[in-house]
Structure 1
Amino acid sequence: MTPLVIDTDPGVDDAYAIVLAARHAHADLRAVTAVFGNVDLPTTTANARRLLGMLGRGDVPLGLGAERPLIHPVSRRAADVHGDDGLGGVAERFGPLGPEPAGRALDVIADVLETSPEPVVLAAIGPLTDVALLLATRPDLAERIGRLVVMGGSIGIGGNVSAGAEFNVWSDPEAARRVLVEERVPTTLVPLDLTHAVTVDRGWLETLAASGPVGEALAATRTVYGRGEALGVDRVPIHDAVALLEAIEPGTLATVPLEVEVDTSLGPARGMVLADRRGRTSPGRTVEVALPEGTDLDGVRDALARCLRDDMVTRPGG
């Protein structure tokens, strides 16, 4: 079993990721923490509560995270992609509401790390503000994080919020730089390069919808979400679920160690992740970057379907 904490900004693809983690046979979901991002903090928190309630996972503590970036205020949300409610305009299909937040995100995560007999995997699938604050204020807990899995960045295909920046990193580049460049926690970065290669089509979503109420609710988000992602084909990416699969099943995605930098300027490149792919031996810190080359893309889609479909659930509370 993989002991797991998720820091998230639900968000449609975050909803897929939470369902995956709550249902995966090898995931021991210890906590979920909500951060600002796709929508504001009250909405991401409510959405996390809806998902935990719908999944029957009231046993999972929920933490209340950062409501804004470390330094500069956020200039836009992602309602055009995720809907005003964060769940593709169909938030009412998810629920009932799970328990109220158990406390601040930093305290909830710290409690899991301090009490776990083994290192914990921390999956960060929203802006990295909470993770940066945790590592800055509790550096003693860094060694209790077995691995940090981050959904964010774009290495070579362009961004989804600007010409070069991916939304999660762009939302708080200063936090992202601290986590990806300055810290030393073992980290796997799952960028758009990989998640845009693992899109799902109408047939995949129709099969998911037919599997039961949770699958139906997830698939119903596609009307707004698919239009907002605008990839030019009748397919949608579920970025965060791909990252969660790697968090739970290490080695699912093919990775290469790369030294990265995050642009924190206030110019057009703000939020870009720059990866050095020249193959040089570098004394700097490297992170494992997941790329399509070497990854079984169809195998990832199949694994996601097995974990997300209601008719495949074997765990209690699913």
Structure 2
Amino acid sequence: MAPNKIIIDTDPGVDDILALLLAFSALSEELEVLLVSVTYGNVEVQRCAQNVVTMFHQIEKEMAWRKANGRSIGFETLCKTKPVVAIGAEKPLADQMLMADYFHGRDGIAGISETHPELSPAETWEQIMASGNDVLGKERLFTPSKVPAHQEILRILRENEPDTVTIVAVGPLTNMALAAAEDPETFLRAKEVVVMGGAINEIGNITPFAEFNTFADSIAAARVYALSSPNPHTVMPPTPPAPSGQQAATPPPPYIGAYPSKLSRRLNVVLFSLDETNYHLLNRGEFNTLMKPVVASASPLATWIDAIVSSTFNKIETLEEDVSGDAVGLQMHDPLCIWYCITGHTDSKWKIKRNEDIRVETAGQWTRGMCLVDRRTRRKREDDILEEIVSDTGNWLSNHCGNRLGRCVGTPGRDVFGSYLLTKILEL
């Protein structure tokens, strides 16, 4: 069986790092990671890029340590295919900039660049851009690109057959929206877009209603999801106003315009919302039990992960009212998407609810980033009339309007994922 080819669009981020490590720890017949496209989000984009550099630095040290100690090197997919790393959006399309450094730390990885400077590489992303791919006569584990991330996404989709590349988007969807706006037909060649985002029946994690990634660029999310609609113009977000005191841009930015009226196909989106990701936890007690012997063995990667995750457990303990000690849990939002990419098409325990009309609020004063569904029991209209009908404001009841998203509603097991993740990454 051919491996699942994937692009990972990410804003590292503690759980983003764990997601990337899980992807690179996959077997070569499970995954092939073609591109890591970096966006702003948890912290600013240059800091996110540096976290990717640090991660590859730690993987390289780990591979050398395993080889020296007669252990399996692992990281099969990384050894087989060197991914491109490209830097993308620095800010949302139009929303006010927001970061999650209050949780992830100012560096995005629990502040360990300050508390554990010995775990950070001396080389920066800027130095890599200046020096090229060769470093001290040896190849890096990745290929740095000077091309904007959304254009690298389009290049890979053009160079591969349709329905062979999955995009895993675990940050704000700005890079996705830019790619879709520049060349929607090429973007629609994706096999599926697996998105960590949204809250349907669950409360939000950044506002009472919104999940962080969707809130961070609600317009981008709305524009990407619109491509799942039979008629994208029925769910496109309104044109955002020009900033106070400024005139509207002429010509407008590319994300302002509508998609072509006739598209060859609809985008296949699979949403991993907080309704599912909130309940896949890596608990402190389980983490310490699994990590203690491998940290004691001087594994460089285990030492790095232990520093990041232990610090994050401490942060969670200060934020939550009724959880402490071994019961403190880190929600595995982003790694869950990678688990799906590894096993989702071979394990029948994965459950995806298809064709949900989930829409994103972009203009609400208090509800930006909220995911809305129609909970009424009204009968759907079979007509193909696309004009607004008075009795159906928003065309919620038309079979020809609205988004058509897939959403994960079941996994192989909420209680097994934490041990699966660590076992896979650390070859336990």
**Structure 2: stretches of 5+ with no match in the other structure:** 61-77, 130-143, 229-265, 381-397
Query: What is the total number of aligned residue pairs between the two structures?
Result: 309
Q: Normalising by the residue count of structure 2, what TM-score does the alignment of the two structures yield?
A: 0.67
| Worse overlay, 87-96 or 108-117 | 87-96
Q: Which of residues 7, 12, 19 in structure 2 aligns to 1:10?
A: 12
In structure 2, distance between residues paired with 1:161 and 1:107: 30
In structure 1, distance between residues paired with 2:158 and 2:293: 41
Partner of 1:64: 87
Measured against aligned partners, the alpha-carbon deviations of 1:7-37 in whole angstroms (never above 9, x if no partner) come to 1000000000110111111110101011010
| 1:210 shift after superposition | 4.0
Measured against aligned partners, the alpha-carbon deviations of 1:97-135 in whole angstroms (never above 9, x if no partner) come to 585440210222122212224620100000000001101
In structure 2, distance between residues paired with 1:203 and 1:158: 26
1:181 aligns with 2:268: no
In structure 2, distance between residues paired with 1:96 and 1:203: 33
Contact 1:80 1:228 in 2 (8 A): no
Letter in 1 for 2:409: L
Find the residue that maps to 2:194 and give its secondary structure. Answer: strand
Contact 1:50 1:96 in 2 (8 A): no
Alignment of 1:65-214 (within 5 A): 65-74=88-97, 76-91=98-113, 92=117, 93=119, 95=121, 100=129, 101-102=144-145, 103-117=147-161, 119-183=164-228, 184-206=266-288, 207-208=290-291, 210-211=293-294, 212-214=299-301
Contact 1:191 1:290 in 2 (8 A): yes
Contact 1:9 1:125 in 2 (8 A): yes
| 1:296 shift after superposition | 2.0
1:269 aligns with 2:385: no
In structure 2, distance between residues paired with 1:263 and 1:236: 28
| 1:220 shift after superposition | 1.9
In structure 2, distance between residues paired with 1:209 and 1:123: 31
Q: Normalising by the residue count of structure 1, what TM-score does the alignment of the two structures yield?
A: 0.88
RMSD across aligned positions (CA): 2.4
Letter in 1 for 2:369: G
Find the residue that maps to 1:15 and give its secondary structure. Answer: helix
| 1:214 shift after superposition | 1.8
Q: Which of residues 357, 378, 391 in structure 2 aligns to 1:259?
A: 357
Contact 2:7 2:36 in 1 (8 A): yes
Q: Could you say if the C-alpha distance between residues 296 and 147 of structure 1 is closer, same or farther in structure 2, counting changes exceeding 3 Å?
A: same
Partner of 1:316: none
**Structure 1: stretches of 5+ with no match in the other structure:** 313-318
Letter in 1 for 2:35: A
Give me the identity figure in percent: 28
Q: Which of residues 224, 234, 241 in structure 1 aligns to 2:335?
A: 241
Measured against aligned partners, the alpha-carbon deviations of 1:49-96 in whole angstroms (never above 9, x if no partner) come to 22233324592211110000001231x311111001100111443557
Give 1 or 2 for the bigger CA radius of gyration: 2
Partner of 1:311: 427
Partner of 1:296: 413
